[in-house]
Amino acid sequence: MAYHSPISTGMKGRCPKCAEGELFKGLLSFNDSCLSCGADFRIEDAGDGPAVFVIFIVGIFIVPLALLFHLKTNAPTWLTFLIWGPIVTLACIGLLRPLRGVMFNLQWVTKAREIRGGDYKS
Ligand SMILES: [Zn+2]
């Protein structure tokens, strides 16, 4: 089986196993399984991981631009929110889907899962 980068397939929203089937059936919800190869997507457990990365990226790169705009233009606060509110919102939504795909595909490749009783024996 050919190797598919989990970053690349995740960004495209493709199956981590075959890189053909669609991961998503909606904006953020996953299909139960791959329509191409039958891989089971119900094990998906990215948790808050994608949201944390979105917060970091938007907080580090976009929010400072909004603050800079506000300070440099002396725009009223309502205008800053009117302009930058939608930009920040769209950036968050736009980043969440590919990052969710990447996180799941990394989970798949590394076989990451919750720790269960018996995993560690002393
Ligand atoms: Zn597949």
Q: Which of 39, 1, 22 is nearest to 101 (CA)?
A: 22
Has residue 113 got a pLDDT over 70?
A: yes
Residues with CB under 5 A from ligand 1 (ion): 15, 17-18, 21, 34, 36-37, 39
- The pTM assigned to this predicted structure is 0.80
pLDDT of residue 98: 94
Q: Is 66 within the bounds of a domain?
A: yes
In a domain, 1, yes or no: no
- Distance (angstroms) between ligand 1 centre and the Cα of 36 equals 5
pLDDT in tens, 27-50: 889 999 999 999 998 887 777 888
Nearest to 21 by CA among 6, 34, 32: 34
Where in the sequence is the domain holding 74, given as residue range(s)?
A: 6-110
Instruction: Compute, in angstroms, the gap from residue 72 CA to the centroid of ligand 1.
Output: 50
Total domains present in the chain: 1
What confidence score (pLDDT) does residue 1 get? 62
- 117: in domain: no
CA pair distance 36, 8, nearest whole angstrom:
18
Q: How far is the CA of 18 from the centre of ligand 1 (A)?
A: 4
In a domain, 12, yes or no: yes
Is 122 exposed, middle or buried, given 0-12, 13-18 or 19+ CB atoms closer than 10 A?
exposed
Does residue 37 sit within a domain? yes
C-alpha of residue 69 to centroid of ligand 1, in Å: 45
pLDDT for 122: 60
Please check whether residue 105 lies inside any domain of the structure: yes
